[in-house]
Amino acid sequence: MTDWTRASAAQMIAAMKAGEVTSVELTQAHLDRIADVDGAVHAFLHVNGEEALEVARGVDAAREAGEDLPELAGVPIAVKDILVTQGMPTTAGSKILEGWEPPYDATVTRKLREARMPILGKTNMDEFAMGSSTEHSGYGPTHNPWDLERIPGGSGGGSSASIASWEAPLAIGSDTGGSIRQPASVTGTVGVKPTYGGVSRYGAIALASSLDQLGPCARTVEDAALLHEVMGGHDPMDATSLNEPVPSCVAAAREGREGDLTGVRVGVIKELSGEGYQAGVEQRFNESLEKLKGLGAEIVEVSCPSFEYALAAYYLILPSEASSNLAKFDSVRFGMRVEKGNVERTMGATRAEGFGDEVKRRIILGTYALSAGYYDAYYGSAQKVRTLIQRDFEAAFEKADVLVSPTTPTTPFKIGERIDDPLAMYLNDVATIPANLAGIPGMSLPSGIAPEDGLPTGFQILAPAHEDARMYRIGAALEKALAAEWGGTLSSQAPELEVAK
């Protein structure tokens, strides 16, 4: 019998159309897989089995009746717990929202429902998407399917781990400083941060509004493209939503697989290599460059000198915006409430108990950076650095069509290793943060396995704003060249997980 959890979304679509499998069978296979392995992986905070099967039954009946269905109809999906979902709990990984059921759907949630995709459940994440390891979740960490003692990245570790462990073929992530790309890199999967404004954030619990972007997580570039096109598009409910057509990601990915990159200039960012980058990560990165060259691309070196300050600027801008966004968790409107006599004390006690340490750290930092007297020195300077970074990108894109780097400096570290050292944790994001500061799209795809530890490595592709399709073309070309050596997706090289009895 075919194990449908091992198929790509594109294969599932074809098989459903050919009558080889039903959506109910696909959905049930993934729910069974979740029952088998999620006790060990802990990718999910909530499993939505009954409703998912009901949606699947509806799709099967519609297909039976000869109705026209959306492309991804019947393909199950996991959703990061940052998206509000009517009828399902939404916590953003925080105890302060434990038990909260949103009264409405996020725009992306609605789009998934309209696409008739069974939603398998909500995935674990660092509290309010602050972190790079999912260890800051209020509900315990997620484990990396490649090695259960290691982190699956963050903040969207649950989404990426669910895909890497075959619990879901697709998932939704959010990327404020790398939370789609970094987990993709350390779990050997694909993750895309679209151009800022390309996907509506309405109903995505805000972390830092000038940086946040929702995007697709998948095991192949084409699958990510399919989901990207479902998620994207203008939304009057989001003031920052771009009013332009969704980029043709699927066509670009398919074109990329033809494997001709003649005339494409690939810029290697000089500043994102060297000190701090693991040997095996750099080795796989350089081999990927050779593959691109073999497909006809021209490799050039570019320099982005202001990237040196990107991390510092990000960790002022993000806490500043987060401190404001998180003010709404006040014990009155949502979730937890710790009664302490009067409103002020109740608010204080609720926030003291409901928020974890990392969230408190950033609220304090952000409040300080925004305070009168310090605003210009901290927040104002960070915004100036942001402009310099945008200029670096503009200059680099004069010389190259896409820019590339390793996605993360290292393979996944051990759970517990960096939890008490926030700066070491923040350093993980050094290669992903610049794209958020500039609002440009970025993709991470697997580049291989580091020889020294047997763990996955990631390759990042960045494109100018609005040119998301370009990344899909180049990513799909590279993926195809690399997959020839792996005999399929990199996920198929991961050690088998033990199945619960």
Q: Measured from the CB of residue 91, what is the shortest distance to ligand GLN in angstroms?
A: 15
Residue number, nearest CB to ligand GLN: 179
- Within residues 157-176, the interface with ligand GLN by CB under 6 A covers 174-176
Q: Strand 214-218's sheet: what is its strand order?
A: 44-47, 119-123, 77-80, 170-174, 214-218, 190-193, 442-449, 456-462, 402-406, 265-269, 298-302
Place of tokens 């995935």: 123
Q: How far apart are the first and last CA of the chain?
A: 20
216 Cα distance to chain centroid: 7
C-alpha–C-alpha distance, residues 283 and 355, integer Å: 40
Element (H, E) at 19: none
Q: In whole angstroms, give the CA distance from residue 306 to residue 300.
A: 19
Contact by Cβ (8 Å): 150, 413: yes
Residue with tokens 């009664």: 339
Which CB, 261 or 318, lies closer to ligand GLN?
A: 318
Any catalytic annotation for residue 371? no
Which among 132, 133, 137, 155 is annotated as catalytic? Answer: 155
* Nearer of residues 131 and 448 to ligand GLN, judged by Cβ: 131
Distance between CA atoms of residues 446 and 181, nearest Å? 10
Q: Are 457 and 490 in contact (CB under 8 A)?
A: no
Contact flag: residue 185 with ligand GLN (CB under 6 A)? no
* Pairing relationship of beta strands 119-123 and 170-174 according to DSSP bridges: unpaired
CA 121/CA 453 separation, integer angstroms: 32
Q: How far is the CB of 291 from ligand GLN (least distance, A)?
A: 28
Contact between 79 and 124 (Cβ < 8 Å): no
Judge contact between 183 and 192, C-beta under 8 A. no
Catalytic residue among 179, 241, 320, 491: 179
Examine the residue annotation and report whether 340 is marked as an active-site residue of this protein: no
We find the least distance from the C-beta atom of residue 415 to ligand GLN, in angstroms, to be: 16
Residue span binding ligand GLN (CB under 6 A) among the ranges 87-95, 142-150, 177-185, 285-293: 177-185
Check binding of 318 to ligand GLN (CB under 6 A): yes
Shortest Å, Cβ 331 to ligand GLN:
24
- Supply the minimum distance, in Å, between the C-beta of residue 498 and ligand GLN: 30
Nearer to ligand GLN, 186 or 250 (CB): 186
Binding map of ligand GLN across residues 372-411, x = CB under 6 A, - = no contact: ----------------------------------------
The C-alpha atoms of residue 17 and residue 28 are separated, in whole angstroms, by 18
Query: Least CB distance from residue 436 to ligand GLN, whole Å?
Result: 7
Per CB under 6 A, 429 contacts ligand GLN: yes
- For 21, the token pair is 């499998």
243-282: contacts with ligand GLN (CB under 6 A):
none
CB nearer to ligand GLN: give 215 or 475: 215
405 is catalytic: no
Tell me whether residue 55 or residue 97 sits nearer to ligand GLN (CB atom): 97
Site mask, ligand GLN, residues 118-137, x = CB under 6 A? -----------xxxx-----
Antiparallel, parallel or unpaired: β 119-123 and 190-193: unpaired
- Position among 177, 354, 442, 448 found at the interface with ligand GLN (CB under 6 A): 177
Name the residue nearer to ligand GLN (CB basis): 137 or 350: 137
The one-letter amino acid code at 320 reads: S
HEC per residue, 309-375: HHHHHHHHHHHHHHHHHHHHCCCCCCCCCCCCCCHHHHHHHHHHHHCCHHHHHHHHHHHHHHCCCCC
Query: Cα–Cα distance between 218 and 222 in angstroms, integer?
Result: 9
| 464 interacts with ligand GLN by CB under 6 A | no
User: Applying CB under 6 A, which of residues 155, 160, 457, 460 lies at the interface with ligand GLN?
Assistant: 155
137 prior amide bond cis, ω within 30: no
Q: How far is the CB of 208 from ligand GLN (least distance, A)?
A: 8
3-class DSSP assignment, residue 252:
helix
213 touches ligand GLN (CB under 6 A) = no
- Applying CB under 6 A, what is the total number of residues that bind ligand GLN? 15
CB of residue 329 to ligand GLN, shortest distance in Å: 17
Minimum distance, C-beta of residue 126 to ligand GLN, in the bound complex (Å): 7
Site residues for ligand GLN per CB under 6 A? 129-132, 154-155, 174-179, 207, 318, 429
Q: Indicate which residues carry an active-site annotation.
A: 80, 155, 179
